[in-house]
Structure 1
Amino acid sequence: MAAPRPPPARLSGVMVPAPIQDLEALRALTALFKEQRNRETAPRTIFQRVLDILKKSSQAVELACRDPSQVDHLASSLQLITECFRCLRNACIECSVNQNSIRSLDTVGVAVDLILLFRELRVEQESLLTAFRCGLQFLGNVASRNEDSQSIVWMHAFPELFLSCLNHPDKKIVAYSSMILFTSLNSERMKELEENLNIAIDVIEAHQKQPESEWPFLIITDHFLKSPELVKAMYAKMSNQERVTLLDLMIAKIVGDEPLTKDDIPVFLSHAELIASTFVDQCKIVLKLTSEQHTDDEEALATIRLLDVLCEMTANTDLLGYLQVFPGLLERVVDLLRLIHVAGSDTTNIFSTCACIKAEGDISNMAEGFKSHLIRLIGNLCYKNKDNQDKVNELDGIPLILDSCSMDDSNPSASLGLC
C-alpha cells in the first residue's frame, strides 16, 4: 500500500497543498492567489518556500549559461521558475503586505539576477520566454504602488536589466520591462537616466517599433517630457528618426485632449528654447531636399518636424509670447521661405509650384506643406505683435507670402492655396 499523502496545510482557513515542493503545489498556490482574501491571509513562510524553489531551479540556468549544451535540459527547471514567478506575481496584486514580505526576503534580487541570466542565454525557446515574461511581470507587480519596493527594484534592475530588456526582440518583454521602468521612475531617478542615455533612447526606439504599446508612450509623455535637461541631452545623442519620434510625441502632448497644466508650461518653455534654437541653427538643411539625391534626407526631415512643433507651440497662448521674441526666429523663417520659394521657382523639385499644398490639407509626407507651415508660423509670430508685423514688412515678407499663394481659377471664391 502506498504511503499516505501528508495532510494539506491551511492558508488561514483555505486548503492548500503542503509542503510546497513541486509544480502541482505551485500551480495550486498561483490559483489561490487570484482571490484577494487568499492574498491578504498568506503567511510569510509561503513566500520563503517559493523562494527556495526559485533558487534551486535557477542553478540549472546558471549551469546552462556556463555550458550552452545544457540549454536543452532546462525544461523542468523552467516550468518551476515560471510557476514561482506566476505565484509571486499573483500574490503581489493590490497587497502591500505580500509585497513587503516578498521584498524583505530579497526575492527581488534573486529575480533580477535570474532574468539577466535569461538574457545571457540568447535563445528563443518559448518556455524560456515565458519564464522571462513572468519574471518581469512579478517585478512590475511587486513595485506597483509601493515606494519601498520600487526603490529595491530600481537598485537591483538599474541599469543592466533595462539595457538588456528594452531592446529585446520579444514585444512582451519590451512591454513588461517598460512597465517596470514607468512604475519605478521618479524625479530623482530621472537624473540617473541623464547619465544612462542609452536607456532613454531605447524607450524611444521601443515606441517606434511598438507605437501601440502604452508603457513606452507613458514613459515619454509622463516622465521624459517633464525633464527639459533629459530631453536636451537625448536630442543631442539620438538619430534623426528617433528625433522625429520624440517630436511627434511632443506635438501629441501639446495638442492632446488635456491642455498643458500650469506645471507643464515652464517645462515646455524650456522645450521651446531647444526647438527654436535648433531650428534657427539648422533650418537651411531642408534645402538639401531640392536635390534628387537627398529627397529622403533624414536630417532635413527631422528639421521639418521642428517646424511642425513650432507651429503647434505658437498656437498655444502660454508659449506664443516667448517664441514671438525669440532671437532670430522670425527673420530666419522669412528668409527660409524666400529661399524655398526661389528654389521651387527655378527648378522642378519637392518645393516646386507645380504641386500646390493647402495649409489645412492632410499631410502624409513631412516635406509636403513645408511652405504652408512656414507661412503659418510667420502668421502666429505676428499675431497681435506690432513689432513682428513691422519686421515682416521691413523684410519684404508680405509680397513674398502673396507670391507663395495661388488663386484657384476654377473657384475664385475658394481660399488661397499655397504653392
Structure 2
Amino acid sequence: KITPKVPSNILRFSKYPAPFEELGALHIGCWNCLNHQDEKTVAYCCMVLFTCLNPERTRELQEESNLNVALAVLQASRKYPESEWTFLIVTNHLLKCPELVKAMYAKLSNQERASFLELIQSEIGENNTVISAETAKFLVNCFKEKCQAVLILAFAANDDDEEALVTIRLVDVLCEMTSNSGHLECLQACPDLLEVTVKTLQLTHLAGKQSTNIFTVTHSGQEQSCHPAVGFKSHLIRLIGNLCYKNKANQDKVYDLDGIPLILDNCSIDDNNPFVSQWAVYTIRNLTEQNERNQELIARMEQQGLADNSVLEKMGLKVEKRDQKLILRSSGKTPHL
C-alpha cells in the first residue's frame, strides 16, 4: 500500500512569507483536497495547510476569494472529528483570528453555527488563549441579536428549530467564557449583555407559566428529556451569576431589572433544568456579596412572605431584625448544593 508523500515544492512555501493567494495551485488544490471523499487525502491536505499557515496568511483567509478554504476546513472538522490536523488548523489558526471568525460565522448555516459554537465551547474549557476579547464581544452581539429566537421552543412543533439551537449554544459559550478569568472582566463590561440575559430569563419563565412547555417547571422524576432547551434557564441564571461576580454595578443592575425575585422564583427542583436550584444559590450569593441593598430586598421579601424561608436556609442565609431593620446574613451553615 503506497503512502502519499507531501511534495517538497509545496512544503517550501511554509518557509517564506508569501501571501496565501500567491500560493497559486496550493490555494486551488487545498479546496479540492479538503472536499475529497477520501479521509486520508483530506488529512494530508490539512497537514500541508497547517504547515503553510501563519498569522498573516490566516488573516488573508477572510477575503472572499480565500474564505472557501477556511470553510472547507470547518466542514472537514465536522466530517472527521477525530482528525488531528483539522483540529490543529481550527484551534491554532482559525479561532485565533477574530476577523476570520466573523467572516466564517456569517457564511455558516444555523446548523453549522451550532456545531462551530460547540467546538468553541470545548476549546474555551481547555485553553484560555484561543478566543480573543474581540471574538468574545462578537459572540455577545450574536446572542443579543438572536436571544428571543429560543422562545419558539415553547411550541412543541418547533423543538428542532435550528435558530433557537444557535441561541442555546451561544449561552453555553458565554457561560464558559464568564467562568474563565481571562474573559470575565471583558464580558462583565459588555453593554446590555446582563440586561438581555435577565430579560431572556424573564420571557422564558413567563412562557413556562402561560402554557405547559419545555420552559415549564416539572417534578415528574422521569428520565431527563433530550429536548435541546433542557437546562437553558439554568444556564441563563449561571450567566447572570458569573456577570455579577464581585461586580457592584452589575449587582445593582439586576436589582433595577427586578431580577432578584425572578431568580428566587427559580430555586425549586425542575426536571427541565438540572441544577437550577444550585445555580440560583450561586447567583444569589454573588448578587448579595457586599451589597446591602440586595440583601435588604431579599430580607423584605422573606418578611412579606414573597421569599420562601426554606429556600434561604438552603442558601445558607437567614433574616434577622436589628434596630428596626431587616438584615440578611449568613446562617453559618453550608449551602445545600
The TM-score range, normalised by the shorter chain, is 0.7 to 0.9
- Mapping of residues 15-414 of structure 1, within 5 Å: 134=4, 137-139=5-7, 143=11, 147-148=15-16, 155-195=23-63, 196-256=66-126, 259-261=127-129, 268-354=132-218, 366-406=228-268
Distance in 1 (CA, whole Å) between partners of 2:116 and 2:109 is 11
Q: Map Cα deviations across residues 227-262 of structure 1 (whole Å, 9 max, x no partner).
A: 000001111111122212222222222111xx424x
TM superposition score normalised by structure 1: 0.59
Identify the range of structure 1 (210-219 vs 285-294) with the bigger mean alpha-carbon deviation: 285-294
Question: 1:221–1:152: structure 2 CA closer, same or farther, 3 Å change rule?
Answer: closer
Task: State which drifts further: 373-382 or 246-255.
Answer: 246-255
> Quick check: 1:356–1:417 contact (8 Å CA) kept in 2?
no
Distance 1:418 1:152 in 2: 47
State the Cα distance separating 1:146 from its structure 2 match: 5.6
Between 312-321 and 186-195, the greater mean CA deviation after superposition: 186-195
In the alignment, which residue of structure 2 is the partner of 1:65? none
Structure 1, unpaired ranges of 5+: 1-81, 87-133, 409-413
1:213 & 1:311 partners in 2: Cα distance? 27
Shift of 1:405: 2.1
State how far apart, in whole Å, the 2-side matches of 1:229 and 1:344 are: 38
* CA-based RMSD: 3.1
Comparing both chains, which one has the higher relative contact order based on Cα–Cα distances under 8 Å and sequence gaps of 6 or more? 2
CA contact (8 A) 1:404 1:418 kept: no
Q: Computing the radius of gyration over CA atoms, which structure comes out larger, 1 or 2? A: 1
Residue of structure 2 in register with 1:45 after alignment: none
1 CA distance for matches of 2:153 and 2:214? 7
Question: Conserved in 1, the CA contact under 8 Å of 2:188 and 2:244?
Answer: yes
Aligned mates of 1:233, 1:297 — CA distance in 2: 23
Write the deviation string for residues 40-97 of structure 1: whole angstroms up to 9, x where unpaired.
xxxxxxxxxxxxxxxxxxxxxxxxxxxxxxxxxxxxxxxxxx97xx6xxxxxxxxxxx
Quick one: which amino acid aligns to residue 168 of structure 1?
H
Report the Cα distance in structure 1 between the residues aligned to 2:179 and 2:20, rounded to whole angstroms.
43
User: Whole-Å Cα distance in 2 between the matches of residues 374 and 234 of structure 1?
Assistant: 26
Q: Secondary structure at the match of 1:138?
A: coil
Q: Distance in 2 between matches of 1:152 and 1:293?
A: 47
Structure 2: distance between partners of 1:183 and 1:154: 16
- CA distance 1:170–1:150, change in 2 (3 Å): farther
- SS for the counterpart of 1:383 is coil
Partner of 1:406, secondary structure, is: coil
1:165–1:346 CA distance, 2 compared to 1 (3 A): same
Structure holding more helix per residue: 1
Give distance in 2, aligned partners of 1:382 and 1:140: 55
- Deviation track 1:23-46 (CA, whole Å, cap 9, x = no partner) reads xxxxxxxxxxxxxxxxxxxxxxxx
> In structure 2, what is the Cα distance between the partners aligned to 1:329 and 1:142?
46
- Give the superposition deviation at 1:175: 1.4
| Partner in structure 2 of residue 14 of structure 1 | none
Are the equivalent residues in 2 in contact too, given 1:153–1:184 (CA < 8 A)?
A: no
The 2-side partners of 1:306 and 1:276 are apart by 8
User: What is the CA-CA distance between 1:328 and the residue it aligns to?
Assistant: 0.8
Deviations 1:146-198 (A, max 9, x none): 61599899724342112211112211111111111111111222133112222
1:7-30, Cα deviation, whole Å (9 max, x unpaired):
xxxxxxxxxxxxxxxxxxxxxxxx
Q: Is contact 1:285–1:300 with CA below 8 Å preserved after alignment?
A: yes
Three-state SS of the structure 1 residue aligned to 2:214 is coil
Same amino acid, percent of matched pairs: 50
Question: Closer, same or farther in 2 for the Cα pair 1:149/1:284, shift >3 Å?
Answer: closer
2:7 is paired with a residue whose SS is helix
Q: Distance in 2 between matches of 1:289 and 1:140?
A: 54
Unaligned runs of 5+ in 2: 281-337
Q: Note the alpha carbon deviations across 1:106-155, whole angstroms, 9 max, x for none.
A: xxxxxxxxxxxxxxxxxxxxxxxxxxxx2xx3238962896159989972
Residues 363 and 392 (structure 1), Cα distance of their counterparts in 2 relative to 1, 3 Å cut: farther
8 Å CA contact 2:20–2:60 kept in 1: the answer is no
Residue 407 of structure 1, CA deviation? 5.0
